[in-house]
Every structure is written in C-alpha cells, then in structure tokens.
Amino acid sequence: MDRLLIRGGTPLRGRVKVNGSKNAALPIIAAALLTGDRVIIEEVPDLLDVRTMIAVLEGLGTAVDYHPEGGRLRVVSGDPPLAAPHARLVSRMRASFLILGPLLARKKEVSLPLPGGCAIGTRPVDLHLKGLAAMGAEFAIVNGAVVGRTAGLRGAQIYLDFPSVGATENIMMAATLACGTTILENAATEPEIVDLANFLNSMGASVVGAGTPRIRIEGVSALGGTRYSIIPDRIEAGTLLLAGIITGGDLIVENVLPDHLKALKAKLMEAGAIVEEVGPAAMRAAANGLTAAVDLKTAPYPGFSTDLQPQFMALLALSGGIGTITETIFENRFRHIEGLNRMGAQIQVEGRRAIVRGQPSLSGAPVIAPDLRGAAALLLAGLAAGGETELCGLEHLWRGYGRLEERLASLGARIELVSEESEWAMQTGG
Ligand code: EPZ
C-alpha cells in the first residue's frame, strides 16, 4: 500500500504549473460519445478518474488513444451501436453517470448502475432523471440499475430544483441532439459547465448561456468531430495556493484562470494572506504572518467551492482565533476533521458547521485520507506540521491530483512516496 511520508515545516517557494481540469475533462470525455467522428481533447490530466472514464468508453467499444505525457486524448466512438456499459466499471466512479445523456441521445436506450453514495454523501441522481424525463426519456430502476429509453428526445423547459453540476451536464449533452429547443433554468454556472458547452459548440451544437443560470440548447441532427483544449483545474490551483500559504512560503502558480478563484482569493485576503494576480494566467500566494480566523460557507459557483473546503480548513486550523466552516453542498464532507484533530487541530462539528479553534502549530501523525479533497487537506496539514506525517489512502489523492508529491518536492517540500513493496523488498532482499 503506497503512503506519503511528509516532514513538515519547510516553506514552499518557487513556481508550479496547474494541470488540466479533472471536472472539465470527465464530462467532455463523456460528450465525445455524441459523435461517431474523431475527437481530440488536449490538456487531459493523467488522473485515476480520467483513466476510469477512458476504461468506461473502451468498454462501450469506443476506440480511445491517450498520451498522458502530452495530455492528448483521441476518441473515435464510430458508427456501430455503442455496446452496453460495463456495470462494474461504471459503479467505480460517480462521474461515469455522465455517459447517460450521450447514450440516450445516440442509442435511445441505456442501462447504468445507480451511482452509489460515496464518502461525502448520498449523492442522488433524481435531478438528472427528472430533466431527461421531461425530454421524453422513460426510466425504471431495475436491480440497482437505471434503465432508460426514449423514442427520441425532444426539447423541453426544465427547472432544476438545485443547480446540480452533473444534472446540468447530462441534460445539456442530451439536449444537443434532441428535436427542438431546451431551456434549462437554475442551471449550474461552474466554469466546467462553460467548458463543456464550448466543447459541444465546437462539435456543431448550439448551446447559449452556459455560465448563467439559464441555458438554451437548440437540438441539431448530428454532431461532428473536433479538437479541443480543456481549462486548467481551479481546484488543483486553489490547493497549491493554499500550500504556499499554510507552509509560510511564497508560490507562483501558473496556468491558472484567476477569474475562477475569486471566492478563494477573497477569503484568503480576509484571512490576511497575500494573494495576487501576477499575469494573465498566474497567481502569487504568500503567507503574511499568522492567518486570521474567518467564517466560511460553501455555495454553488461563484460561491466558495465545496471542493476547496477541506483544504481551507487545514489553513484555518493554524489560524489565530476561532473560525467556522459551513458545508452547504454535501451532507458528509467533514471526514478530514478526524485526521486534522489527530495532528493537534481543535475542530468540533455541529451539524453542517465546523468550529475551528486555531492552534499555534500542528504535529505530524499517521493519518488516513477519507476522500479526495480530504486527502489534500491532510497533505497540506502535514506540510505545515512539525515532525513526520504518514498519509495513507492515496488512492483517493490520485483520483484528482497527478504526481502532486513530485511537484511539491520541487518547491522544497520534504515528501517521499513509499510503497509497501519497496519496504518488503528491502526486508527480504528481494
Ligand atoms: C460535481 O459533482 C463535481 N464532480 C464535484 O467535485 C463537486 O463537489 C460538485 O459538482 C459540486 O460542485 C465532477 O464534476 C466530476 P452536484 P456532482 O450534482 O455533479 C445534490 C471533486 O472533489 N444532488 O452539483 O455529483 C447532491 O446530493 C468532486 O472533484 C441531488 O440532490 O455534484 C449534492 O448534495 C467532489 N440530486 C448537491 O446536489 C441530483 O440529481 C451537489 O451535487 C444531483 C445532485
């Protein structure tokens, strides 16, 4: 079992580049199924979740060619009817549910395992199904799978009870090939929605209003191939900015779209840190004395991202006062608190709110990552803590961060990836 050994206390300094966005890549790879023509996607990050999505498409009989070093992915789903998705593969990652819209649009029928809840919550898909049903799809739940079929999708007026990112993406993708116009109200406005819409339009779709709560999609008869480059990962960027500040360092983070990080920048400045744009695609983050305690509430974009909540909590654990974090998006996204408290943090949970009593320091400890962003939070805490932290559960970290330990080491972090095999080999001389 791989683990990271982190000896904290070194300020991170230097320049680091952000990879392509995981949460843009996953829906865009799924959207490649909307055409039988060749699709080339650039800047695709080499992540566990991307590899899983590639395997899902290959299981459908799609030809996929991925060059991780260059970040280029080529998809040709071809004209033969797409095979049924591999249930085991799809159930491994919730984002696989994003093939629902494309398969309904192209095959007019699909059976997909209901995505299980995961570490951070039950995560239902009722809004996905309600929107697609409004477009003429019929669904049944059979043996834990969603079985859907349609005589042909047609445009509809849809209002989302919650601005769900995934539901917005599934409905938008399906609507590109529906007969007529779809108006989606109370849609998610995340940058990844805009990136998906731009990708769809590059294939010949007609999507207007992405990035606003009202998206209009004119269905077309077919979509064609394209070459498209995805946006940088704003959550990885925010994680790296926080790494610079929590270690008392000074970082330049490159390949960033500062507009995507306004909420984080505002909160970090309120906490007294230095955060500034140093170019059209770069930001600087530096510590500026003791972090002040602040109150934080997650919200749909452009509010503070739930995906940066655990990482910000690690910083708050070292602040000079008492701050609070309210998690409004997921009902169980505080599982990193146990590990932080093992490192000396003083954090209490009251329902959806965490009360964080800042401490002068944290101390390294063996901790287990509970989920993707919780892994990042514990890693940040380990970089700032005195002594050694051993972080296990790295399969969570690898889902969303590519070779993060190498990039952090290049900035001065004392961090080492240890795999059980190497230790075993040493002991047995194997
Ligand atoms: C996307 O998940 C992201 N994942 C998540 O990032 C992110 O946290 C989330 O959006 C919110 O921003 C990808 O893009 C691959 P939602 P998604 O549908 O689409 C409820 C990460 O760390 N809901 O916006 O699954 C749901 O239970 C991941 O990179 C319904 O009730 O999120 C949740 O409470 C974690 N019914 C809330 O909405 C539905 O049909 C937000 O879910 C759908 C969602």
Q: What is the pLDDT of residues 129-138, one digit of tens each?
A: 999 999 999 9
Average pLDDT, the chain: 94
Looking at per-residue confidence, does 173 or 79 come out higher?
Answer: 173
By the 8 A CB rule, do 85 and 59 touch?
yes
Atom of ligand 1 at shortest range from CA of 190: 12
Supply angle C-alpha 397, 399, 402, rounded to 5.
Answer: 75
Supply angle C-alpha 419, 424, 430, rounded to 5.
Answer: 120
Judged by DSSP in three states, 31 sits in helix
Per DSSP, what are the bridge partners of residue 250? 13, 286
Asked whether residue 322 is domain-assigned, the answer is yes
**pTM to 2 decimal places:** 0.96
Mark whether 221 and 92 lie in a shared domain. Answer: yes
Supply the residues annotated as catalytic.
118
Mark whether 324 and 224 lie in a shared domain. Answer: no
Mark whether 262 and 386 lie in a shared domain. Answer: yes
- The residue whose C-alpha atom lies closest to atom 35 belonging to ligand 1 is 307
The confidence score (pLDDT) of residue 116 equals 66
Mark whether 248 and 284 lie in a shared domain. Answer: yes
Asked whether residue 29 is domain-assigned, the answer is no
Mark whether 278 and 415 lie in a shared domain. Answer: yes
Asked whether residue 72 is domain-assigned, the answer is no
| Rounded Cα–Cα distance for residues 167 and 173 (Å) | 10
Looking at per-residue confidence, does 80 or 331 come out higher?
Answer: 331
Distance from residue 161's CA to the centre of ligand 1 (Å) = 13
Asked whether residue 43 is domain-assigned, the answer is no
* 264 contact partners, CB below 8 Å, separation of at least 6: 238, 241, 275, 304, 305, 308, 312
Cβ(246) – ligand 1 distance below 6 Å: no
Domain endpoint, select from 228, 257, 291: 228
Mark whether 348 and 422 lie in a shared domain. Answer: yes
Q: What is the sign, positive or negative, of the torsion defined by CA atoms of 299, 353, 9, 291?
A: positive
Q: What is the pLDDT of residues 367-378, one digit of tens each?
A: 999 999 999 999
Mark whether 162 and 281 lie in a shared domain. Answer: no
- Ligand 1 pocket test: which of 92, 165, 190 has the largest number of ligand atoms within 8 Å of its C-beta? 165
The confidence score (pLDDT) of residue 87 equals 82
Cβ(406) – ligand 1 distance below 6 Å: no
pLDDT of residue 239 exceeding 60: yes
Share of the chain above pLDDT 70, in %: 95
The confidence score (pLDDT) of residue 89 equals 84
Supply angle C-alpha 359, 306, 377, rounded to 5.
Answer: 40
Mark whether 217 and 299 lie in a shared domain. Answer: no
Asked whether residue 169 is domain-assigned, the answer is yes
Identify the domain containing residue 137 by its residue range.
Answer: 83-228
The confidence score (pLDDT) of residue 12 equals 98
Domain endpoint, select from 194, 212, 228: 228
Q: What is the pLDDT of residues 13-40, one digit of tens each?
A: 999 999 999 999 999 999 999 999 999 9
Asked whether residue 37 is domain-assigned, the answer is no
Atom of ligand 1 at shortest range from CA of 373: 22
- The residue whose C-alpha atom lies closest to atom 19 belonging to ligand 1 is 166
Asked whether residue 69 is domain-assigned, the answer is no
Distance from residue 53's CA to the centre of ligand 1 (Å) = 17
Looking at per-residue confidence, does 143 or 396 come out higher?
Answer: 396
Q: What is the pLDDT of residues 48-98, one digit of tens each?
A: 999 999 999 999 999 999 999 989 999 998 775 677 788 888 888 999 999
Looking at residues 328-351, what average pLDDT do you find? 97
Q: Give me 294's structure tokens.
A: 């602040």
Looking at per-residue confidence, does 244 or 141 come out higher?
Answer: 244
pLDDT of residue 220 exceeding 50: yes
Atom of ligand 1 at shortest range from CA of 306: 8
By the 8 A CB rule, do 47 and 398 touch?
yes
Mark whether 317 and 330 lie in a shared domain. Answer: yes
Mark whether 169 and 96 lie in a shared domain. Answer: yes
Q: What is the pLDDT of residues 296-324, one digit of tens each?
A: 999 999 999 999 999 999 999 999 999 99
Asked whether residue 406 is domain-assigned, the answer is yes
> In which residue are the tokens 């992540």 written?
47
Mark whether 171 and 306 lie in a shared domain. Answer: no
pLDDT of residue 430 exceeding 50: no
Per DSSP, what are the bridge partners of residue 295? 324
Mark whether 212 and 257 lie in a shared domain. Answer: no
pLDDT of residue 429 exceeding 80: no
Q: What is the pLDDT of residues 103-124, one digit of tens each?
A: 999 999 999 998 865 666 667 8
Count other C-beta atoms under 10 Å from residue 230's C-beta: 27
Domain endpoint, select from 206, 228, 250: 228
By the 8 A CB rule, do 275 and 36 touch?
no
CA distances from 56 to 89, 257, 394 (A): 6, 30, 22
The total of structural domains in the chain comes to 2
Residue 192 belongs to a domain with what CATH number?
Answer: 3.65.10.10
**Residue 337 — φ and ψ, nearest 5°?**
-65, -35
The confidence score (pLDDT) of residue 143 equals 87
